[in-house]
């Protein structure tokens, strides 16, 4: 722990934190302490002797500037809809393309490794099997609302009027959609 109000140099009238009754002596008895790791985050630590707080102690104020780590957003990959494999045409197309790619690999004379086989299977699945539609966990959410949400995420400035208007519209649509869904379910 580091005592910041003693570590930073200030004018003597900004250092005392307690006045004795009758103002005979002034002492520094109140301090701001911080973990040594965050010592650099403290910009100022000083007292405000003129504050009317109803005590013989003087308030000690500290200014912090925290630098937070920027988090990277994980890329979301669309999942494959394996339910579509129940249709007879998709597995047929998939198996033909896999066979063709394996024949190309063997004809090229390359060594067949696990990595090459895995890459062929995954790439072919991504080409042939359709992607799952993004579906909300809430049953009342419509595709229109989800597309509006994805459009809102593309707005760069979160504090802008455009973002606030989009947010209001999405909330209104959500309320209406939930109300109609509940009416349909409760009948």
Q: What is 109-157 written as a DSSP string?
A: T----HHHHHHHHHHHHHHHSPBPPP--SSTT--HHHHHHHHHHHT-S-
Distance CA 37, CA 11 (A): 26
Taking the model in full, what pTM does it have? Answer: 0.39
Question: Does residue 70 form part of some domain?
Answer: no
Question: Does residue 71 form part of some domain?
Answer: no
Question: Does residue 179 form part of some domain?
Answer: yes
| Residue 94: domain span | 82-128
pLDDT on residue 179: 92
pLDDT on residue 180: 92
Distance CA 3, CA 61 (A): 13
Question: Does residue 155 form part of some domain?
Answer: yes
pLDDT on residue 90: 87
Question: Does residue 73 form part of some domain?
Answer: no
Distance CA 99, CA 115 (A): 16
Last residue within a domain, chosen from 33, 64, 95: 64
Question: Does residue 75 form part of some domain?
Answer: no
Would you write out the chain's pLDDT as a tens digit for each of its 187 residues? 777 666 566 676 666 666 777 777 776 767 777 888 888 888 877 777 777 777 777 788 888 888 777 878 777 777 888 888 888 888 888 889 989 988 888 887 777 788 888 888 888 888 888 888 766 678 888 888 988 988 888 887 878 899 899 999 999 999 999 999 999 888 7
Instruction: Give the β-pairing of 33-34 and 60-64.
Output: unpaired
For the chain, what's the residue count?
187
Residues 123 and 147 placed together within one structural domain of the fold: no
Distance CA 120, CA 105 (A): 10
pLDDT on residue 84: 82
If one counts the domains in the chain, the total is 3
Residues 12 and 46 placed together within one structural domain of the fold: yes
Question: Does residue 95 form part of some domain?
Answer: yes
Residue 168, exposed/middle/buried by CB under 10 A (0-12, 13-18, 19+)?
Answer: exposed
Residues 122 and 89 placed together within one structural domain of the fold: yes
pLDDT on residue 23: 72
Distance CA 111, CA 109 (A): 7
Question: Does residue 43 form part of some domain?
Answer: yes
Residues 118 and 159 placed together within one structural domain of the fold: no
Residues 9 and 46 placed together within one structural domain of the fold: yes
Closest by CA position to 30, among listed 11, 3, 69: 3
Residues 114 and 149 placed together within one structural domain of the fold: no
């Amino acid at each position: 722990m580091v005592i910041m109000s003693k570590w930073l140099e200030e004018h003597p009238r900004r250092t005392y934190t307690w006045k004795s009754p009758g103002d005979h002596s002034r002492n520094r008895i109140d301090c701001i302490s911080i973990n040594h790791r965050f010592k650099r985050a403290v910009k100022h630590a000083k007292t405000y002797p003129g504050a009317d707080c109803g005590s013989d102690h003087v308030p000690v104020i500290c200014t912090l500037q925290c630098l937070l780590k920027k988090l990277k957003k994980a890329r979301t990959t669309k999942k494959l809809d394996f339910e579509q494999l129940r249709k007879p045409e998709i597995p047929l197309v998939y198996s033909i393309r896999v066979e063709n790619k394996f024949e190309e690999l063997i004809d090229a004379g390359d060594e067949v490794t696990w990595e090459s086989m895995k890459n062929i299977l995954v790439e072919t699945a991504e080409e042939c099997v359709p992607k799952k539609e993004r579906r909300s966990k809430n049953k009342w959410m419509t595709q229109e609302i989800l597309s509006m949400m994805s459009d809102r995420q593309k707005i760069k400035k979160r504090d802008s009027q455009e973002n606030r208007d989009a947010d209001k519209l999405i909330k209104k649509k959500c309320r209406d959609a939930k109300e109609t869904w509940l009416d349909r379910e409760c009948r």
